[in-house]
Structure 1
Amino acid sequence: MFSKDVVRYHHGHDHDHDHCHEHTHTRGAEVENKDEKTLKILLLHWVNHNETHEEGFREWVEKAREIGKEETASHIEKAIEYMQKANEMLIEAKKHM
């Protein structure tokens, strides 16, 4: 059974997060199956999560430029590129599930 919970992360904003409340007391295929399902959910969640941060990063690139902090803006843009690359890798990982 899945339920929607709001989870407060260390970076200070809320996220809806699915939690699996099924408890498997056996080993083997059932546990692996649960872990596989969880990993599929997490891979998608991580991509979506990163995309929401990207929106905020882009906003701050513009603000940094407005206050004359071009080098800061450039570094934030580089972080966006790395996050996009990370998302590509997470999507690729999900294809292999």
Structure 2
Amino acid sequence: MIEHWIEHNESHIQSFREWALKAKKDGFLEAYEDISEAADKIEEANKSLKKAQKGLFPPPK
């Protein structure tokens, strides 16, 4: 399930970055910053999910 969440989040990150750039291009700089911040936070969430995944499924020794 964690792998699914990570992949799902990655698709959202990509979409958010694309829309942030569109907002910036159209002069909506505050929206650009807010959407970019949201993408950054999802990236942070994925870091936590990856740590959890390693804790649940450590690589074989």
TM over 0.5: yes
C-alpha distance in 2 between matches for 1:89 and 1:82: 11
The letter of the residue matching 1:57 is F
* Structure richer in helix, relative to its length: 2
Partner residue, 2:32: 73
Structure 2 unmatched ranges of 5 or more: 57-61
1:53-87 C-alpha deviation (Å, 9 max, x unpaired)? 11111110111011110000000111111000000
Higher RCO (CA < 8 A, seq sep 6+): 2
> Which 4+ stretches in 1 moved above 2 angstroms?
none
How many residue pairs are counted as aligned between the two chains?
A: 56
Identity %: 38
Matches within 5 A, 1:1-97: 42-97=1-56
Opposite residue 53 of structure 2, the aligned amino acid is K
- Amino acid in structure 2 at the alignment position of 1:87: N
Between structure 1 and structure 2, the one with the greater Rg is: 1
TM-score relative to the length of structure 2: 0.87
Larger strand share, 1 or 2: 1
Q: Which runs of 5+ in 1 are unaligned?
A: 1-41
Tell me, in whole angstroms, the C-alpha distance in 2 between the residues paired with 1:68 and 1:77. 15
TM-fit CA distance, 1:96: 1.0
